[in-house]
Amino acid sequence: MSAPTAPKRRRATGRTTLAEVAQAAGVSPITVSRALRGERAVASELVTRVREAAERLGYVPDPAARALASSRSTQVAVLIPLLSNALFVDLLDAAQRSLLEAGYQSLIGVTHYRPDEEEALLRAYLMHRPAGLIVTGFDRTEAARRLIADSGVPCVHVMETHAEPGVYSVGFSQSDAGRAMTQCLLAHGRQRIAFVAAQLDPRTLQRASGYRQAMQLAGRHEPKRELLSPRPSSMALGAELFEQLMREQPDTDAIFFCNDDLAQGALLAALRLGIAVPARVAVAGFNDLTGSDQMLPALSTVRTPRAAIGREAARMLLGLIRGEQPAAPSLDLGYELVLRQSL
Amino acid sequence: MSAPTAPKRRRATGRTTLAEVAQAAGVSPITVSRALRGERAVASELVTRVREAAERLGYVPDPAARALASSRSTQVAVLIPLLSNALFVDLLDAAQRSLLEAGYQSLIGVTHYRPDEEEALLRAYLMHRPAGLIVTGFDRTEAARRLIADSGVPCVHVMETHAEPGVYSVGFSQSDAGRAMTQCLLAHGRQRIAFVAAQLDPRTLQRASGYRQAMQLAGRHEPKRELLSPRPSSMALGAELFEQLMREQPDTDAIFFCNDDLAQGALLAALRLGIAVPARVAVAGFNDLTGSDQMLPALSTVRTPRAAIGREAARMLLGLIRGEQPAAPSLDLGYELVLRQSL
DNA sequence: CTGAAAGCGCTTACAG
DNA sequence: CTGAAAGCGCTTACAG
């Protein structure tokens, strides 16, 4: 009853292999591979036999072997600017969920709004031969653009839309949204409307340009009421910029913040300073982040469909991975003005 | 000048392979492999030669081939309950960053506080042979526990600590933190202190038990002042529970919320209802989330070191992956009471 | 310190 | 509709 001596060159991992399933089912390995992936025509009787054998043996395909042999993986790289902005977390959460349901894992990458970091992440992740790619917006280095194109990996751009053959995107028009909220403030009788922004990423600047267009169209544009800070967005910064603006341009009668966290901070600062909102100054935000409906007064804002964007981007990407052509390469999911008491 | 006819059985991927680097450097493939990984002793002259050749040819190792041959990948699975709780996002962000620096990618998994979802994720991710695993807390199914143990994949538990041989953890004592804040409220002269919680995950219940211990010790425990809701935590729920508590137990003179979002919602509700904080009722939160310092009054809370937890968990895991034994298998990073105007 | 051989567990490309 | 052979690009396990 001595233990069998191990053969010299063994290094099996112990897991059940496709070959073992094949033997158990009495077919060839290729047939098992095809039956399990549902690829090509396999006699339905064999499919059943293979499935049963796989089930019985607890067979789990090895993703590494699969990736090596097919040069495709089941991972999707998702690149977002920041994890500290709830906007992107919502998007990521929705995308991740949809991808997981379809059997794909998400490799997240945080670019910190820096094109060089994005390029480095792209380089690192692309060597993993991801099945697909989700990237934020269109603002990237030429090298990054080429990396994506040369990789041949299907790619969907999120948050903005862009009509160009071979480019896929899911988002909405940031400048339209910026224009719409500004026009709404104008329609409510506000005239000296300020725009306050932080971070100054491409999409923030698009909102700014929407604001500017609307103000110019109304003949009310005053550059002095634009307060643009490159610092990262936060409630604390919103409070600070609000105080600065009310000090420097005290006759401002409305403020459009490029993000809700700034606006929330401003609302709390107004409370501290005893500045009446909306009586003296109306306040509007962007994104309808959590808590905006709880503010005092409740914050008017632009609701953006980030969860839907994540979901639809995943759906579009899965189609591209299957080799399908999406109905529309650019999907505009729109936005919605949410008017609450701050206006 | 006709194009060369492709040989019959080619399916090279076009990328530079290790073999090509070996040929260029005039050494064997194994030597390249070892030189590039810095493993085992390789003559330093050869290392230089190999590095140069790899650089020149733009060689990028194939992770799939590497994973298949070595049965280990460069991916770490990180399982957290929720992406909508900033606490976990901060932890994930820090862990992800540290892991990336060391050449590891993070595969995130969201369990929604459900042991069955965690078990399914574990099953799905473990088949990818991750190099390591980071999981939240210790509350999981027996099957999940076994999956982790049987996989042999190094695993670090975060948020809680637990001293047991072979179990690695980075966190702090949730019950100590709950007790400390309660004692702080008592020390400030509050006597009818309520505890309001949502979600009711294991860590929330540990905080509750810390509260209970402190109250019992002071001879002031009144079960009627515990308001526990299984609903997901949010500012809106905090407002709702605050109103309910002030209606049902109007003589409550302090409220300890298990999370800052609840407390923030309560503070705003108090403002709406004209309930003076802290004059009539003191309010304390947990985690020191963003915005808590901006509240009116600013929120007193327990600052938890989630970024440090993420960072240290990554560091401990990287050590375990290298086969090192951590100095202490259980790392307690503590917490800090932050006293602001709400108390 | 270095290498020739085998193997990791799949799928591709042909052929029938 | 099914299969025998080769190959994906690395590393392991030996041997020297």
Strand C positions within 7 A of protein Cβ atoms: 1-15
Alpha-carbon distances, residue A281 vs A179, A245, B289 (angstroms): 19, 11, 28
Top residue of A128, A147, A233, A340 to mutate, by most chain B CBs within 10 Å, is A128
* Per-position DSSP letters for B149-205, written without gaps between them: HHHT--EEEEES----TT-EEEE--HHHHHHHHHHHHHHTT--SEEEEESS--HHHH
Across B218-231, average pLDDT: 98
pLDDT at A8: 43
Q: Please check whether residue B50 is in contact with residue B31, taking contact to mean a CB–CB distance below 8 angstroms.
A: yes
For chain A, residues classed under CATH 3.40.50.2300 are 73-172+307-333, 174-303
CATH hierarchy code of domain B174-303:
3.40.50.2300
pLDDT at A40: 66
Q: Please check whether residue A299 is in contact with residue A293, taking contact to mean a CB–CB distance below 8 angstroms.
A: yes
CATH hierarchy code of domain A73-172+307-333:
3.40.50.2300
D9 C1' – B102 CA distance, angstroms? 23
Closest Cα in chain A, distance from residue B6 (Å): 19
Q: How far apart are CA B22 and CA B29, in angstroms?
A: 5
**Closest CA to C6 C1' — which residue?**
A9
**Closest CA to C9 C1' — which residue?**
A65
CA-CA-CA-CA torsion sign (A235, A333, B112, B318): negative
Q: Is the peptide bond before A7 cis (omega within 30 degrees of 0)?
A: no
Residue type, B49: R
Q: Pairing between strand B75-80 and B132-136?
A: parallel
Q: Cα A39 to the chain's mean position, in Å? A: 31
**Domain B70-172+307-333 - what CATH class?**
alpha beta
Strand D positions within 7 A of protein Cβ atoms: 1-15
Residue with more model confidence, B273 or B42:
B273
Shortest-distance nucleotide from A9 CA to C1'? D13
Q: Would the CB atoms of B96 and A73 count as touching at under 8 Å?
A: no
Top residue of B17, B36, B68, B88 to mutate, by most chain A CBs within 10 Å, is B68
C5 C1' – B166 CA distance, angstroms? 38
Across B175-199, average pLDDT: 98
Q: For chain B, count helices (H), then strands (E).
A: 12, 12
Q: Would the CB atoms of B105 and A90 count as touching at under 8 Å?
A: no
Q: How far apart are CA B336 and CA B313, in angstroms?
A: 19
Task: List all residues 6 or more positions away from B34 whose beta carbon is below 8 Å from its beta carbon.
Answer: B40, B42
Q: Would the CB atoms of A64 and B64 count as touching at under 8 Å?
A: yes
pLDDT at B14: 74
Q: Cα B290 to the chain's mean position, in Å? A: 17
Q: How far apart are CA B175 and CA B179, in angstroms?
A: 6
B33 touches strand D (CB under 7 A): yes
Q: How far apart are CA A106 and CA B245, in angstroms?
A: 42
Shortest-distance nucleotide from A42 CA to C1'? D1
pLDDT at B11: 63
Which structure tokens are listed for A296? 């005092």
Chain A residue whose CA is closest to B269: A294
| A128, A271, A290: residue with CB nearest B63 | A128
Residue B197's beta-bridge partner residues?
A: B228
| A61, A92, A291: residue with CB nearest B235 | A291
Residue with more model confidence, B260 or A13:
B260
Residue with more model confidence, B284 or B30:
B284
What tens digit of pLDDT does each residue of B239-252 get? 999 999 999 999 99
pLDDT at A59: 87
What is the total residue count of chain B? 343
Q: Please check whether residue B95 is in contact with residue B134, taking contact to mean a CB–CB distance below 8 angstroms.
A: yes
Per-residue pLDDT of chain A (343 residues; tens, 9 = 90+): 333 334 444 566 777 889 889 988 989 888 999 888 887 677 888 888 899 988 888 888 888 899 899 888 889 999 999 998 999 999 999 999 999 999 899 999 999 999 999 999 998 888 888 999 999 999 999 999 999 988 889 999 999 999 899 999 999 999 999 999 999 999 999 999 999 999 999 999 999 999 999 999 999 999 999 999 999 999 999 999 999 999 999 999 999 999 999 999 999 999 999 999 999 999 999 999 999 999 999 999 999 999 999 999 999 999 999 888 899 999 999 999 999 999 9
Nearest in space to B266 (alpha carbons), one of B247, B294, B242, B298: B242
pLDDT at A12: 66
Predicted confidence band of residue B2 (pLDDT cuts 50, 70, 90) = very low
For chain B, residues classed under CATH 3.40.50.2300 are 70-172+307-333, 174-303
Q: How far apart are CA A192 and CA B311, in angstroms?
A: 47
What tens digit of pLDDT does each residue of B188-215 get? 999 999 999 999 999 999 999 999 999 9
Q: How far apart are CA B61 and CA B39, in angstroms?
A: 15
Task: List all residues 6 or more positions away from A220 whose beta carbon is below 8 Å from its beta carbon.
Answer: A186, A191, A192, A193
Q: How far apart are CA A238 and CA A256, in angstroms?
A: 11
Burial of A280 (0-12, 13-18, 19+ CB in 10 A): middle
D2 C1' – B97 CA distance, angstroms? 49
